[in-house]
Amino acid sequence: MWVYEKKLQYPVRVSKCNPMLAKFLIEQYGGADGELAAALRYLNQRYSIPDKVVGLLTDIGTEEFAHLEMIATMVYKLTKDATPDEMREAGLGDHYANHDNALFYHNAAGAPWTATYIQAKGDPIADLYEDIAAEEKARATYQWIINMSDDPDLNDGLSFLREREVVHSQRFREAVEILKEERDRKKIF
Amino acid sequence: MSTYRKSWRPYIGPNDPCPPIEIKYYETPPNLYLGYQPYGLKQFDPSTALFKGTLWPALYAPYSNPYKKKREEEE
């Protein structure tokens, strides 16, 4: 089970009214390398992975949901006061036709989230390498969004999220090292 | 020398519905340990290499079902 704290992991501030950024940010909400895919990937893999790294997957998977909330807050702030015309001008006309101003799990191009974005091969090494790759791809996505954003307050939040991807990648690499260790072998000195 | 298969003992609950698999295995193939492959590693002769799928013994790690032997022993 989870304990919920009714606050964000890091403050989300959006200083410019730029609904088009929401269209790009939604990639990290419902895209292949987004926070939803990350959370579900890790929290699912943890059941069958060796027990030494289960806790890591639980912790990181949980944190990804906190990141998902931050992205949702950013998108919501950028679109909640957008009129239908403004939504259309921002490239969100297709989204508005289907969802009004509601958030939805799809990527920047409008393709709905799918479970095929995540993998659970059951092989601990294959799964952890998948996780490392996912973190690097999420880091890259944050970079591309920052490159397109001219909002320093929003970029502050995105920079925090990008940094967390770096840390998570490092922790997954350490998990691989743990699984590589010769734990069964008797050490003779 | 690293081993290319590791084992671990999953938690066995007192109320698990099925007989437990006490030891589970996973593969840690040689590519995890080699890093950038050094020059001059020992080589198989060419015809052996074609059969084995690699020129280098250091990368040769054939797979076998780790659970099969266990089952035969039990029977």
Per-residue H/E/C for A86-148:
HHHHCCCHHHHHHHCCCCCCECCCCCECCHHHCCCCCCHHHHHHHHHHHHHHHHHHHHHHHHH
Q: Decide if pLDDT at B74 tops 80.
A: no
Q: CB contact, 8 Å: A55 with chain B?
A: no
Other CB atoms closer than 10 Å to residue A74's CB: what's the count?
Answer: 25
Q: CB contact, 8 Å: B36 with chain A?
A: no
Is A37 inside any structural domain? Answer: yes
Band of residue A184 on the pLDDT scale cut at 50, 70, 90: low
- CB contacts, 8 Å: B28 with chain A: 125, 179-180
Q: How near does any CA of chain B get to the CA of A182, in Å?
A: 7
Is A98 inside any structural domain? Answer: yes
Q: Are strands B5-8 and B24-27 parallel, antiparallel or unpaired?
A: antiparallel
pLDDT for res B68: 87
Is A111 inside any structural domain? Answer: no
Q: Decide if pLDDT at B71 tops 60.
A: no
Q: For A128-144, how does the pLDDT look when each residue is reduced to its tens digit (9 = 90+)?
A: 999 999 999 999 999 99
> From CA A182, how far away is CA A185, in angstroms rounded?
6
Q: For B19-40, how does the pLDDT look when each residue is reduced to its tens digit (9 = 90+)?
A: 999 999 999 999 999 999 999 9
More reliable by pLDDT, B25 or A184: B25
> Considering the entire predicted model, what is its pTM?
0.91
Nearest to B27 among A50, A123, A184 (CB): A123
Triad A108, A112, A116: Cα angle to 5°: 110
CA distances from A30 to A23, A110, A157 (A): 11, 9, 18
Q: For A49-84, how does the pLDDT look when each residue is reduced to its tens digit (9 = 90+)?
A: 999 999 999 999 999 999 999 999 999 999 999 999
Give the start-to-end residue ranges of the domains of chain B: 5-74
Band of residue A36 on the pLDDT scale cut at 50, 70, 90: very high
Q: Decide if pLDDT at A189 tops 70.
A: no
Q: Enter the ipTM.
A: 0.85
- CATH code: domain of residue A137: 1.20.1260.10
The total domain count for chain A is: 1
A93: domain range? 19-103+118-180
- Judged by CB atoms closer than 8 Å, whether chains meet at A180 and B32 is answered as yes
Nearest to A182 among B2, B26, B27 (CB): B2
Q: How near does any CA of chain B get to the CA of A46, in Å?
A: 12
Is A12 inside any structural domain? Answer: no
Q: Which of A48, A132, A182, A188 to mutate to test the interface with B (most CBs of B within 10 A)?
A: A182
Q: CB contact, 8 Å: A150 with chain B?
A: no
- CB contacts, 8 Å: A185 with chain B: 3
pLDDT for res A188: 61
